[in-house]
Every structure is written in structure tokens, then in C-alpha cells.
Amino acid sequence: MKGFPKIRDVAAAAGVSTATVSRALSAPDRVSADTRAIVLKAIEETGYRVNHAARNLRRRQAGGIVVLVPNLANPFFSQILSGITFAMATSGYNVLIADTRQAPNAEHRILDYLHNNRADGLIVLDANLPEDVLSAGDTPNHHPPIVFACEWLDTDPRPTVTIDNEEGAKLAIRHLADLGHTRIGHLMGPPDNILTITRAKGARAALAELGLAIRPDWFFDGDFSLASGAAAAHAWLALNDRPTAVFCASDAMACGFIGELHHKGVRVPDEVSVVGFDDIEIAAHFVPSLTTIAQPRALIGETAARKLLALITEGRENGSATGASDVLPVQLVARESSAPPR
Amino acid sequence: MKGFPKIRDVAAAAGVSTATVSRALSAPDRVSADTRAIVLKAIEETGYRVNHAARNLRRRQAGGIVVLVPNLANPFFSQILSGITFAMATSGYNVLIADTRQAPNAEHRILDYLHNNRADGLIVLDANLPEDVLSAGDTPNHHPPIVFACEWLDTDPRPTVTIDNEEGAKLAIRHLADLGHTRIGHLMGPPDNILTITRAKGARAALAELGLAIRPDWFFDGDFSLASGAAAAHAWLALNDRPTAVFCASDAMACGFIGELHHKGVRVPDEVSVVGFDDIEIAAHFVPSLTTIAQPRALIGETAARKLLALITEGRENGSATGASDVLPVQLVARESSAPPR
DNA sequence: TAGTTTCATGCAATCGATTACATCGCTGCA
DNA sequence: TGCAGCGATGTAATCGATTGCATGAAACTA
């Protein structure tokens, strides 16, 4: 960073002022085609690169967006991140990532991103942040625009990018009913999570529509993880009166559930059908391959990123940060793990 | 970002100069305990937050590190990223991520990170970058320090954080031999990849040590992905004379291999034993659960991050960027997918 | 007691790009 | 011919924190 050419050097090489060089880069149509060419050549020759810190300081911006991920180690998010970086690639904004559940002081550091000039915008994938963290954005111009993706807050009017979770759950239940199942259970995500609530609601609604039993002892607790799926397998085994099909609120849980049943000698789908949710990559290759509700994860990330960019630009131009919310479609993918009951 | 308090406001509130405020924050022992307390209180009251752009400009730094990931959508990397953000959390550096294989212009944008004042350091997880991209760092002070993690370049003396890939492959082969297998194949990663080369080398060495056959038709081509594992299953099925065990260079390939064999009615480990590499989370829950070589992914990320931080600091203090390289240990985890041959 | 260190603090230059405003030369119209 | 209008460019202030140097007071030394 020491001997790097600066805009002054380029200006000297091109025989123009620094203002012209700056304009040739950031507002090409404000300089004549001739000088622009000269400036670009000078940039080429000197090997000049803008200093982002200087630019950001002057423009009063941060130059990046932050993605708040509840748990980076969870592969569910990797494809969403991929969609985000894809959409951001040409924008000139950096993509920073932060794990909201990671010690030390996760909460404190998030606040730092929120109030701060560290990010021009946020994509929040974790709606279970401490209440006060997000409400810190009360005073509208004290924080950058926020887009929620995947998860959201019912009480919060900010724009979101989600999928139709309720419909997804209904598709799953109807699929099992179509196969002939009448005894259907549901393995849920973490309590309080909006996805858990919405998917469970959809499952209940579909069961009711179909006139099927909604039995509390067939609604198993989980937390979206593989391990909780395995734990649910034990709960299922412990029942006297078991459902013949289980709709799991995540593929990870479905895999954990099936894997553990397999250890106990219970075959899927012979003895119990399983439907997952997410369509993670392994679902198609699992044994048995997993029937699931596909959600377009990369597209979610991409959409959220574009929406955020729009908000950032809009916020700069006028003040009206409108927040239409996108709901992306889901799709049933039928595979081996679901079959008619014996 | 408009009406935010600046250091001047804090200085006024505390009745000191901006220099003192700055020092109270960045060099606490250069101000007296009393004034420090006063300044901190003033910061609290005004709600001041440093402007990173200004700080970075003045300090001639970028304030962040970049992680170059070959494919963000690949969950293998999520845990490494997690380790990196964990180690970086308290450092004050942002963690930026960039996908090196992502259109448009991946190559061009990487160069931007390399030469540029966008990052104070890089963690590179992709050693297959175009030759000239990395060699752009010839002139030592024209680029930030780089640490390679997982993958590395044989020709490059820069510091690396890796695992003992050769030993891992040997563990896998020996494990299969211990079970009684004498006909052992190997499903490889993408050609030219250093991990592919090293693991295949370890596998060959172990086979040789054990006096077992090294048959070219039992070395299958792959690319670490699930799909290539499934493709290898067809290659295996097509052989007249099949190995009774296959060591796969990634868990994803092992899962794809097993999943596809299962579709074709071939049971694992009954008809063929399989050992993977990585110990991704699903390995323990797969059907059958996967015997594999565990590598400490989060630790790799964490170690790389700390090493990079050390290089950044060192580079600022004196110029000698030494690059000891860490090799982290691997471990065999025996599960159901490997058993004695029939 | 005079001279020397040490410590805490203030002053003001500085990092490098952007941009409001001023300037200059043309064109076009009355 | 004269003046408004416009486009291209230059001048210089500005973004906000950091830090080299200077200052003054206190502590220490001989």
C-alpha cells in the first residue's frame, strides 16, 4: 500500500486534473470521450487502483453489506451466501459475513454493524436476534437498510424475501395423504422460530382440510439439526401408536431421523414414509433418496441482495424506503423416502 | 450516517482534544486513567462510533481480510468459514468473502482484491487459480499477505494451513486392509488438484507397503462432488473384476457412490466397503453411516486466520514475512460403511 | 536548585478521492 | 455583435480519524 500510484499520479500522467480522473471513473459521461480514453490509458500505465477507504470516506458510505447468518457452519446457508455474492459481484460492494451466534459477544458486535458505518445495508438470515438489537433501528436514519431473508419478524414491516412455507407444508402433507397415509406426524424446528410456526401451521391446515387427525403426540420437537432428527427417531420408536408418515421441517432432520431409524432396524419408506424440507444437495443421494420440498436457496440470496441494493440506492435518492416483500415458490420433489403405507 | 456524532463531538463533550479521544480508543495506556474514563463516558453519552473509512484511510489499511472460496455453494467450506470468522471476531477486521469461480469476471475481481487496498490479507482456499493471478504478488510489497488453507501450491513458498492428506489416505487404505480387503480401489478428486494428487499418492504408497495391487482401472475419476460419486458407481458396476473396497477422496463422493449403488441394488458394506474423507456432518447419519477420515475444518479456518493476523501485524512491524506452515492431524473414524469382505 | 526525563495532552498536517463551485470556450439566437 | 446556455475541465474544500511534533507540568537526578 506504500508506493501505490494515486489519483494525482494518474492525473499527472494524463495531463489532466484529479477531478477529471475521478469523473472518468465514476461518471464517464461527464468527460469527453477523448479525455476519457487518455485517462483510462494513464490508469492502465500507472497501474492505478482506487483507494476504497478514501472514496468511502468522501462518499460517506461503507462500501459493503453485511450478511448476518445464525450459524455459518450450517451448510443450509452456503447456497444462500452464494446467491448473495453472485448478485453483489458487479455492484462494487463488498460482502461481509458475520455469525450472529458466535462467541464472544455476538450481540455487541452485531450492534456495531447495525448503527455503524461498517455496512451500507444488511441481509439478516436470523430473525431470532435479541429484540433490542433490531429495534435499535427505530430512528430511521440511524441505521442502514435491512432485508430479511428466509426468516422474518411478524412484527416488523421491513422488506423480506421468503418462500411460501405454509404452502410447502401443505404440499408435503397432501403428498403423503395422496399416497394413502392417514396417520401423519410432523417433526418441527426450534420453538419460537417463525419457520417452525409457519410450517406447522401449514401442516395443521392441510391435515384439517383432509379430515385427518392432528395428534399432539405426533408433533415432535426438533431444531432443524441432524442430531435433533435422530432424537426424534427415538421419540417415534417410543410411541405405542405411531404415525405411518412424518413430515420433517428440514432435510437435515429428515436425514437424522432416517439414519437413526435405520440403526434401529426400521426401514424407510417400508415402515414409515418421510418427507423433508429444503432439498439440500444430498437429498437426492441419500439412502433412500429423500422426498422433499424444494426451495430455491441461491435465488433467495440473489433476490435479497438485489432488493437491498435497490433500497440502498433509493435511500440515497429520496427518503422513501418502501419494502415490498417477495415470496418465492416452493415445489414438491417426490423421491424414494415416501411410499404408500403398508 | 448523516447526523452521527464524530470524534469532534466526543472531544467537545469530554472537554479534551480529538487526539486524546482517539488515543483513549486506540492506545488506552497513552492517556491517564481519569481522562480515559471521562472520554469513555462521553462516547457512551454521544453514542459515538468510529468511522472506519476515515480510520482506514489514515492508517493506510483496508480494515478487512478476504477469503477466496472456490465454490461457496459447497458446504465443505462453511465450517472453515465459521472457523475464520470466529478467529477474526475480536480482531476488528472484517471478513469479506469472494467466490473465485463465480461469473462474471471472477478472475478480474480477484486481481482487484490482490493488488488492492480492499484487503489487508487473504486466505486462499483455492490453489487452482489462474497462474498469473497469484504470481501477481511477485513484488513483495505490492500485495497483502496470503495464507493458503486446505489447498496449496507446490511451487509457492507462502505459508499454508493444511492437513496431513497423505497420512489420511494411508489410514484409509490400512483400515480397509486390516478388515481383510486385498482388492482396494480409489475414487479421486479433480485432476491437477493438489489434494487429489496427495491423497492418491498416499493411497498408492499404502497399497505398495501392504503389497497390494495398484490397478489403474480401480482408480476412478471424480471431482469431489456428489454427482461424480454417483458417476463412479457406474464405472465400478461396469468392471468385470471389481475391487471389494473403495476409498473416496471426499465424503460427498462417497455418499454419491453409495447412493447410486443403492439404486442399482448393490449394498454397502455387504458387497463393497467404502471409506470417505472429510467427516462432514452427515457422514455419521448416512445410511450406512460412513467410515471416513476426519479433518478439523473449523480449526483449519481458525488457524489460517490467526496466522494471517500474525503476518499482517508482523509485516507492519518489520518486513520479514516468515511462513511456517501448519499441518493439522487427521483421524480415522470407523463406522458402518466399511466391513470385512464377503 | 538546576537540569533532565517522563508523561499527558493539544495542535495541525495528513491519508486519497470526491464534488460544489468557478472558469473557459463554444454554439446559437435575437 | 452581444449575451444566454451548455459542456468540459480545473480549483480547492471536504469527508473524519490518526499521529508526528510541540508544550507544559511533574518527577527524578546529581
- A80 close contact with B: CB closer than 8 A: no
pLDDT for residue B236 is more than 70: yes
Give the domain CATH number at B30.
Answer: 1.10.260.40
Residue A319: its pLDDT value, please? 45
Query: How many Å from the N-terminal Cα to the C-terminal Cα in chain B?
Result: 70
User: Are A222 and A232 in contact, with CB atoms under 8 Å apart?
Assistant: yes
| Same-domain pairing of A290 and A192 | yes
Q: Is residue A337 domain-resident? A: no
| Same-domain pairing of A237 and A315 | no
User: Per the structure, how many domains does chain B have?
Assistant: 2
Nucleotide nearest to A5 (CA to C1'): C16
Confidence label for B316 from pLDDT (cuts 50, 70 and 90): low
Residue A156: its pLDDT value, please? 83
Higher pLDDT, B197 or A320: B197
Q: Please tell me which residue lies nearest to nucleotide D19, judged from CA to C1'.
A: B19
Pick from A289, A301, A328: which is nearest to B260 by CA? A289
User: Are B63 and B93 in contact, with CB atoms under 8 Å apart?
Assistant: yes
How many Cα atoms sit within 13 Å of B297 on the Cβ side?
19
Q: What is the mean pLDDT of residues B257-274?
A: 97
pLDDT for residue B319 is more than 50: no
For the segment B192-212, what is each residue's pLDDT rounded down to a tens digit?
999 999 999 999 999 999 999
| Same-domain pairing of A305 and A280 | no
Count CB pairs under 8 A between chains A and B: 185
Give B112's contacts in chain A (Cβ within 8 Å): 49
Q: What is the mean pLDDT of residues A218-222?
A: 98
- B4 close contact with A: CB closer than 8 A: yes
| Same-domain pairing of A153 and A172 | no
Residue B228: its pLDDT value, please? 98
Average pLDDT over chain B, rounded to whole? 91
Q: Of B273, B295, B317, which residue sits at a domain end?
A: B295
Range from A54-63, A283-292, B166-175, B316-325 carrying the lowest mean pLDDT: B316-325
Do residue A60 and residue B95 have CB atoms under 8 angstroms apart?
no
Q: What is the mean pLDDT of residues B302-329?
A: 81
Confidence label for A51 from pLDDT (cuts 50, 70 and 90): very high
| Same-domain pairing of A124 and A268 | no
Residue B335: its pLDDT value, please? 98
User: Are A104 and A48 in contact, with CB atoms under 8 Å apart?
Assistant: no
User: Are A98 and A113 in contact, with CB atoms under 8 Å apart?
Assistant: yes
Identify residue B121 by its one-letter amino acid code.
G
CA distance A37 to B311: 39
Q: Is the CB of A57 under 7 A from strand D?
A: yes
Residue B294: its pLDDT value, please? 98
Mutation site, B86, B122, B267, B282, interface A, largest A CB count within 10 A: B282
Q: Of B254, B278, B295, which residue sits at a domain end?
A: B295
In strand D, the nucleotides that come within 7 Å of a protein beta carbon are: 7-12, 14-20
Q: Give the closest of B3, B98, B226 to A285, CB-based.
A: B226
Q: Is residue B31 domain-resident? A: yes
Do residue B102 and residue A117 have CB atoms under 8 angstroms apart?
no
Do residue B57 and residue A62 have CB atoms under 8 angstroms apart?
no
pLDDT for residue A74 is more than 80: yes
Range from A37-41, A102-106, A290-294, B22-26 carrying the lowest mean pLDDT: A102-106
| Same-domain pairing of A151 and A204 | no
Q: A139-172: string of b/e by CB count within 10 Å (b at 16+)? A: eeeebbbbbbbbbbbeebebbbbbbbbbbbbbbb
Do residue A75 and residue B285 have CB atoms under 8 angstroms apart?
no
Q: Is the CB of B26 under 7 A from strand D?
A: yes
Q: Is residue A334 domain-resident? A: no
Give the domain CATH number at A225.
Answer: 3.40.50.2300
Residue A342: its pLDDT value, please? 87
| Same-domain pairing of A190 and A285 | yes
Higher pLDDT, B319 or A278: A278
Q: What is the mean pLDDT of residues B49-77?
A: 93
Q: Is the CB of A23 under 7 A from strand C?
A: yes
Do residue B116 and residue A49 have CB atoms under 8 angstroms apart?
yes
Q: How far is B285 from chain A (nearest CA, A)?
A: 5
Query: Which residue(s) pair with A121 in the sheet?
Result: A65
Range from A52-61, A254-263, B73-82 carrying the lowest mean pLDDT: B73-82
Range from A137-151, A180-194, B287-301 carrying the lowest mean pLDDT: A137-151
Do residue A118 and residue B52 have CB atoms under 8 angstroms apart?
yes
Q: Is residue B145 domain-resident? A: no
Residue A129: its pLDDT value, please? 79
| Same-domain pairing of A177 and A278 | yes
Q: Coil, helix or strand for A141?
A: helix
Q: Is residue B81 domain-resident? A: no
Give A74's contacts in chain B (Cβ within 8 Å): 78
Strands B273-278 and A326-328: unpaired
Q: What is the mean pLDDT of residues A171-181?
A: 98
Do residue B1 and residue A286 have CB atoms under 8 angstroms apart?
no
Residue B133: its pLDDT value, please? 63
Q: Give the closest of A109, A115, A262 to B89, CB-based.
A: A109
Residue B118: its pLDDT value, please? 87
Domain that holds residue B45: 7-50
Q: Is residue B308 domain-resident? A: no
Q: What DSSP designation does B102 have?
A: P
Do residue B98 and residue A99 have CB atoms under 8 angstroms apart?
no
Residue B142: its pLDDT value, please? 62
Residue A138: its pLDDT value, please? 45
| Portion 12-51 of A in contact with B at CB < 8 A | 47, 49, 51
pLDDT for residue A322 is more than 60: no
| Same-domain pairing of A176 and A276 | yes
| Same-domain pairing of A150 and A194 | no
Q: Is residue B315 domain-resident? A: no
- B61 close contact with A: CB closer than 8 A: yes
Average pLDDT over chain A, rounded to whole? 91
Q: Please tell me which residue lies nearest to nucleotide D10, judged from CA to C1'.
A: A17
Q: Å between B32 CA and C3 C1'? A: 26
| Same-domain pairing of A202 and A306 | no
Q: Is the CB of A1 under 7 A from strand D?
A: no
| Same-domain pairing of A156 and A173 | no
Residue A140: its pLDDT value, please? 45
Residue B326 CB-density burial (10 A; 0-12 exposed, 13-18 middle, 19+ buried): middle
Confidence label for A1 from pLDDT (cuts 50, 70 and 90): very low
pLDDT for residue A142 is more than 90: no
Q: How many helices (H) and strands (E) does chain B have?
A: 12, 12
Residue B250: its pLDDT value, please? 97
Range from A135-149, A218-232, B3-17 carrying the lowest mean pLDDT: A135-149
Q: Coil, helix or strand for B331?
A: strand
